[in-house]
Structure 1
Amino acid sequence: MAAFQLCAASWSGMRAARGCAEHIGCLSAVAGCECVRGCRQRVRGRTAFARSWRPLMRQTRAQTGKGFAENQKTPVKMMVAVNEGTNSGASTDSAAAGQMLGSVSLVALGCAKNTVDAEVMLGDLQRNGVRIVGEDEESDVVIVNTCAFIEDAKTTSIEAILHAVGRKTGSVRGVLVTGCLAQRYASDLADELPEVDAVVGFENYSQVPELVLKILRKAPQGKASRVAVGGANVPFRPEWERWRLTPRHTAYLRAAEGCSHACSFCIIPSFRGLFRSKPWDSVLDEARRLAASGVVELNLIAEDTNQYGMDWGPKDPRRLHDLLYELAKIPGIRWIRLLYCYPSYFSDELIAAIRDIPEVVKYVDIPLQHMSDRVLRAMNRPPLDHTLKILNRIRDEIPDITLRTTFISGFPGETKEDHEILKQALREFRFRRAGIFSYSVEEGTPAALLEDLFVDPDVKESRCDELISIQQEIEEDFAKQQVGKELDVLIDRHQDGYAVGRTRFDAPEIDSMVYVVQLVDPGTMVRVKIVGTHAFDLIGEVL
């Protein structure tokens, strides 16, 4: 275990020249100083959307005409596609009888939380007699479920909206915009894109069927009804009656909503609201219904999954570790995976539950964002010593744990020494899975005000490339270490003559895959011998 141990002292020489915290600007004490409160006051209200995104839309229009030509390519390969037979909700009489009123396709962008939102919307539509089709199929209405997390995500969302609007010259009769971009920039989107029939925020998702039916019945929306955006702290509603976009055997299970942290680079709490745990019985009821529909893998999600139950206080002592024990009792559930865990709340009981419950895969996703104390302070993230103690406790108790994380390169004020600290941390800790991103300016955040400290774009990209190269070597080495081993593989789909699946090391969509020579049915868990690798992916044969 000694090889896995990390301590802040091991990097003390690198940190000795980091300078005082003041050099990072007003973010040095983002949690409390008056300077930061003033910064937050200055960025409230209407943000820089008009400066940054209206030009993007206008530029795109200038390049493509009012809409997109018929041969215009789809902006990106979307995250998911509708799979037949994955509807886990009940149908209305009209839908069951085949009396469909029209069709809807949905472009799903963004994170797993956004995917669940999209699935609930589609379930509502299906129960109201609307036929659900794949995003590449002809449809009467297109819903673009947008993401607004970073600049690239917003750009992709805008392009997807324009692509959908361009299809109104053909079979498409209406376009709805939902998701985080809609929640954050509703009025701007409606003003700049009059071709969009409705912009709908989180609180008004229950209105989506009504809006779609108006379009299908050719009823005019009217200016007043084009924008439906309420507050961020949306009450929980049942989420088991959804038209799932994931394969039938795997599902995301939302445990909570919102975030009460104040990371200086992140805008999510402003439009997702403060952290609130989903009611205990609702989570378990949804999990049981998902299992009954054929789900064998539950992926627990939230903005801060391991804080589950902590907002209830002493009146209700149930926490995430208690939930894991209950989920593991559900017949049919083989794998339970923890995603989006904030590096602050790993109790001994939670670590023991991950270690001891067979159904809980030995995999935890903990976004760390950086490993330099100076940058972490600027990000308003937990101090490095605290994080290292948690990581070491987890690895001591669960030696074969797969830790997944994310890092941000080029945060404002990041120095070459900060970058070297992060590089050394990657090499020493050897995270089995990691996502690495260049810092993206997010309007409305304290970090966005530090223009004088922005890292040169070329330097930022170069640093990011260095980190990615290091992580690629680590993941390729880990893949090679699996050759000759026998592993359980959950088959997701067929592709190019292979059955493609995942080991417990890998979450859906974001991690590596196993290409199995035999065409095993999707949803099947098989024992596979690993016979080769392809970069980070594995090649195996069924035993």
Structure 2
Amino acid sequence: MSKLHLISLGCNKNLVDSEIMLGRLRNFELTNEISDADVIIVNTCGFIASAKEESVRTILEMAEAKKQGATLVVTGCLMQRYREELMRELPEVDLFTGVGDYDKIDEIILKKQNLFSPDVYLQSNEERIITGSNYHAYIKIAEGCNQKCSFCAIPTFKGKLKSRSLENIIDEVKRLVQKGYYDFSFLSQDSSSWMRDNGVSDGLISLIDEVEKINGVKSARILYLYPSTTTMALIDRIVASPVFHNYFDMPIQHISDKMLRVMKRGSNEAKVREILSAMRSTPNSFLRTGVIVGHPGESDEDFDSLCKFLEEFKFDRISAFAYSREEDTAAFDMEQIPTKIISKRLSKIEKVIKKTLDDSFRLQIGREIIASIEGESSEGEMFFGGKMDVWDKDIDGEILINESDERELEVGARYLCEVTDSVDNKLIARVIKRA
């Protein structure tokens, strides 16, 4: 049996594409040893400068480490975005393909031919191999994006919004439930716009309705809501759901009215505050957001207003990114803010984020929560690692479990736990009983 080594870079939307490729290549034996692999696939990210650099660096490392006669395949967003340059500059790579042919990866390798289909691949009924968990899976509900954010080039290589059908999504969830998966994260570039390309507003409400009917789904959340397409009706439906957590992941990017206009976000400060306040007022809510620091046009006053807002609002998680100047975006030709100033602002906002994170973790001490056992913790075999049921996989934190009233803990099982402490952005907990 030939051996395969696959590296998936970037977001969890990329991970789903990688899992589809693994499904198509299920006849290969997976290996962590690069030098043993007969085929190496790098699924690249092309979103911002740091991601592009990581992708190119990884490709070169794989080319250097592969054994003689092995096939190196490069696919994904970076490949789609910079097709001509990469094919010219990377003679070390054996096969190239973009974002339209994940379901044809077996044919590409068999025929040893590059392939670039004109349309972005939209998942259908392909079986995929879930990685990293025996209980949680990401479900991609759409491709592309209709938003016109000034800093983002994704629509130029991913195209317009194309929603996956409700029936297709539900079929996949049902199949995964039959395999033992019970925790799901639904995602796309702009999840709250799902089905708008078919003339349907608030399509997520119908998705929630149908997912709730599936016996075996115990926990779910929606990622990547967008301020201008998230409605009060959707928030109310999430709150009413016995399955979907009050987990609200909405990157706001900024709070200054001026910057929201410059960034072409389609919402003003009042609207963003209204939506966030409605989310925060829900029982046991969990709010995650993302912001960009140093976008062209951001004054000291704009930045200070962002810091003040983040200090006051008390998100549970915040991701801050330094502005990345990207070709084919409206912000590319704007007057750029010096890198030194961006770095200084990023350092300041990271202190705000650290305090916010510390406060969020500290609020959990003394609470009883439901957690799923992940396996050995990041701290080693002295602790089991766990994920709180409201959290998304990997990005929201880790629970360290070193006490249990249960005789043995099962990886992938859910347990009622008592949180006893918070240390270095990790919760310490003891298991009370199986949930």
Give the TM-score band, short-chain normalised: over 0.9
Matched AA of 1:209: D
Which position in structure 2 is the counterpart of 1:114? 14
Between the aligned residues of both structures, percent identity stands at: 34
Distance in 2, Cα, partners of 1:142 & 1:466: 40
Q: Deviations over 1:399-454 (max 9, x none)?
A: 4311100000111121110110001000111111110111111112111112xx22
Provide the C-alpha distance between the structure 2 equivalents of 1:161 and 1:351, rounded to a whole number of angstroms.
42
Partner of residue 213 from structure 2, selected from 303, 323, 329: 329
1:390 — aligned with what? 275
Distance 1:162 1:195 in 2: 8
Q: For residues 135 and 430 of structure 1, do their structure 2 counterparts lie closer, same or farther at Cα, with a shift above 3 Å needed? A: farther
Give the corresponding residue for 1:293. Answer: 179
- Aligned partner (choices 406, 409, 420) of residue 293 of structure 2: 409
Would you say the 8 A contact 1:122–1:243 is kept in 2?
yes
Partner of 1:203: 100
In structure 2, what is the Cα distance between the partners aligned to 1:414 and 1:425? 15
Within the candidate set 133, 158, 161, 2:31 is matched to 133
* Corresponding residue SS for 1:427: helix
Task: Give the Å deviation of 1:136.
Answer: 5.2
Residue 520 of structure 1 aligns to which amino acid in structure 2?
A: L
CA distance in structure 2 between the partners assigned to 1:246 and 1:256 by the alignment:
22
- Residue type of the alignment partner of 2:246: K
Match for residue 324 of structure 2? 440
Contact 1:105 / 1:134 at 8 angstroms: preserved in 2? Answer: yes
Specify the SS of the correspondent of 1:472.
Answer: helix
Judge which range, 497-506 or 426-435, deviates more.
497-506
What are the superposed Cα offsets for residues 47-85 of structure 1, whole Å, 9 maximum, x if unpaired? Answer: xxxxxxxxxxxxxxxxxxxxxxxxxxxxxxxxxxxxxxx
| Bigger Cα Rg | 1
- For the residues of structure 1 that align with 2:146 and 2:48, how far apart are their CA atoms? 19
Give the strand-richer structure, 1 or 2.
2
User: Among residues 99, 107, 124, which one is paired with 1:237 in the alignment?
Assistant: 124
Question: What letter corresponds to residue 108 of structure 1 in structure 2?
Answer: S
Q: Tell me, in whole angstroms, the C-alpha distance in 2 between the residues paired with 1:114 and 1:427.
A: 32
Residue in 2 that maps onto 1:366: 250
CA change 1:532–1:171 in 2 (3 A) is farther
2:136 matched residue in structure 1: 250
The reply to whether residue 377 of structure 1 matches residue 275 of structure 2 is no
Contact 2:34 2:62 in 1 (8 A): no
* Partner Cα separation in structure 1 for residue 120 and residue 4 of structure 2: 28
Q: Count residues with an aligned counterpart.
A: 424
Provide the TM-score with structure 1 as the length reference: 0.75
Which structure exhibits the higher relative contact order, with contacts defined as CA atoms closer than 8 Å and separated by 6 or more residues? 1
**Unaligned residue ranges in structure 2 (runs of 5+):** none
Please give the residue correspondences for 1:514-529 in structure 2 after superposition, counting only pairs within 5 Å: 514-518=399-403, 520-529=409-418
Asked if the contact 1:370–1:422 (Cα under 8 Å) also holds between the matched residues in 2, the reply is yes
CA spacing shift, 1:418–1:348, aligned 2, 3 Å: closer
**Contact 2:373 2:409 survives alignment (8 Å):** yes
1:134 Cα deviation from its structure 2 partner: 3.2
Contact 1:186-1:229 at 8 Å conserved across structures? no
Quick check: 1:475 aligned with 2:385?
Answer: no
Q: Which runs of 4+ in 1 moved over 6 A?
A: none
1:48-59 aligned at under 5 Å gives the runs none
Alignment check: 8 A CA contact 2:418 2:430 kept:
yes
The answer for the alignment partner of 2:385 in structure 1 is 500
Check 1:233–1:175 CA distance in 2 against 1; reply closer, same or farther (3 A cut).
Answer: closer
2:295 partner SS: coil
1:512 is paired with a residue whose SS is coil
Equivalent residues of 1:232, 1:270 under 8 A apart:
no
Q: Deviations over 1:473-519 (max 9, x none)?
A: 11112211211111111122212121111213421122111111147
Cα drift, residue 466 of structure 1: 1.0
Could you tell me how far apart the structure 1 residues matched to 2:9 and 2:122 are? 23
Question: How many Å apart are 1:233 and its aligned residue?
Answer: 4.1
* Matched residue SS, 1:274: coil
